[in-house]
Amino acid sequence: MNWLKSRICLIALVCAALTACASLLPKRPEKPIYDVRSAVVLSSTTMSAELLSGISDRVNAAIRATVRTTDLPHVVLTIRIVSVTKGLGFQKDRNVAKVRTDAASVEDGSVIAVSSFEVTSMTADPTLADDILAEDIAARIRSAFALSGR
């Protein structure tokens, strides 16, 4: 029984020491936030117009809804839909989009930030695939650039 008590005390001491050491680690720097003024969605001619307009409508609505109280660099987003693959998976219910987003300065046009990501969405109804994928892509962009949600 003494052996068990000593092990529990040792584990508690190690946990307390690790907790104290974790507070000494450097904090992650916050990601930069920009004052996004507008967004444009680009892709090849093979992309669905419903997908492109859905992304554009959602992102621009989020831009209009976002209120900044501090002075931040003004940027314009260029959202490029690199590729879209539909009907993946065993049940053919997964859709994958590769997206690249550039944030260009309003003042001089230089690219300040670049974000590339892949979005996977699932839907059992193929007629809703573009709408759901547009929402998932827009949500990812809202998150990356700290824009207001719905």
- Taken in order of first residue, the domains within the chain and their CATH numbers are 35-144 (3.30.160.150)
Q: SS3 for 55? A: helix
- Token digits of residue 58: 């959602």
- End-to-end alpha carbon distance in the chain: 58
pLDDT tens-digit map of 40-96? 999 888 888 899 999 999 999 999 998 888 888 899 999 999 998 887 878 888 899
Phi (first) and psi of residue 43, to 5 degrees? -165, 180
Q: SS3 for 71? A: coil
For 7, 86, 89, 130, 150, the CA distances from 126, given in Å and listed in that order, are 58, 9, 13, 8, 24
Lowest mean pLDDT among 5-14, 18-27, 71-80, 117-126: 18-27
Q: Where are the alpha helices (DSSP H) in the chain?
A: 2-22, 49-65, 129-144
Predicted confidence (pLDDT) at residue 11 exceeds the cutoff of 90: no
- Token digits of residue 61: 């609505």
Q: What is the pTM (predicted TM-score) of this model?
A: 0.77
d(Cα 79, Cα 116) in Å, to the nearest integer? 10
For residue 133, the model assigns a pLDDT of 93
Would you give the DSSP letter of residue 27?
Answer: P
Predicted confidence (pLDDT) at residue 1 exceeds the cutoff of 70: no
